[in-house]
Amino acid sequence: MIGDGERGLLYRDRRLRGVLVPGIHRYFDPFRRIEVEVYPVNARRYTGPDAGTLLASLGGEAYRHFLVADIGEAEVGLLSRDGRLEEVLPPGSRQLYWRGEADLQVHTLPLERVPRVPPDIRLRLRQLGLLPRVAVTLDVPSGWAGLVTIDGQMAPVLASGSHAFWNFQSNILAETVDLRVQSLEVDRQALLTLDKVSIHMNLTASLRVHDPAKARQIAQVDVFVRHLLQHALRSIAASRSLDELVQDRSALDEQIQARLCPALHGFGIEILGISVRNILLPDPLAENLNRQAEANNLAAGPPALSPTETDALQAMLGIAQMIGSSTRPLSPLPAARPPHSMAGPD
């Protein structure tokens, strides 16, 4: 007895003889040579031991009861049920699916050199939770770029968005690169000037990656650029005296940028600006310079006045002299009389 939603495989002498549809089937079998294996059609995929033997034994009748999905070596199979994608079949696979009330269909897609998953299929597989199992996914935020390497070969740079690549037959690596402007700080970099003075310098640089494919050669962009900045600072400081560095500090920015730009261009990195914030001197040297500045100010005397300030000062002195010559001692004031009492007689 084969119920609705079931199919049976009839074996005689352990050899497949046919497929039994729902209903009652009677066989005369006094020697128990007949066996029947019942399969639920709702499970859809045939789970028997050997699909190839089944097809060879049934011949053309097999296609009446089974959907045969035979996927080529350079193809990906897509199984849909009633028009909705349900399963992905890898290249070179063969699967049998029981035919029932549902409309089953298999479509194939060629595996191209860049095996990109179409957007509509990627969305459906994500809904089914199958996408991470059959594809390498990469979500690229805004302001970033995506890099994909397929068997060691670089694929075109990916813009922001969601991307997926079939994870069959190829070794696929995916990563993202930040294209936004970045700020880099170099704090208290110890330097030695040409006249053997030990100083510290603080520097700020702004940069961005303009070619993510070239920047991929660098493991950490910020660490790499910081090392180049430190090397440029040491080289420039060692070729100048302390006075030259302090007096021409504004030119340091251009000199450092001129040294770094050619080196970073080959790695797809652009320096947008460099700013030397301050130069820190050793404490004894800073105290000596302050004392020398104070001594110079005392030796120079009071600051010179402008003609306008001189005229105003002379006018104020003349007024002060006039007031001093016209003043005389004032006579004492009479003693104050006590106020009359407002109270009446006792």
pLDDT, tens only, 212-270: 999 988 888 889 999 998 888 888 888 888 777 777 777 888 888 888 888 898 899 99
> The whole model's pTM is what?
0.69
Is residue 54 within 8 A of residue 37, CB to CB? The reply is: no
**What parts of the chain have a pLDDT lower than 50?**
313, 319, 323, 326-346
Show the tokens assigned to 194. 């040409």
What pLDDT score does 297 carry? 56
Retrieve residue 209's tokens: 């990656």
Alpha helices (runs of H) in the chain, residue ranges in sequence order: 51-58, 62-65, 119-128, 131-134, 212-215, 221-238, 242-247, 250-265, 283-299, 307-326
- C-alpha–C-alpha distance, residues 272 and 251, integer Å: 16
CB 93, CB 45: distance < 8 Å: no
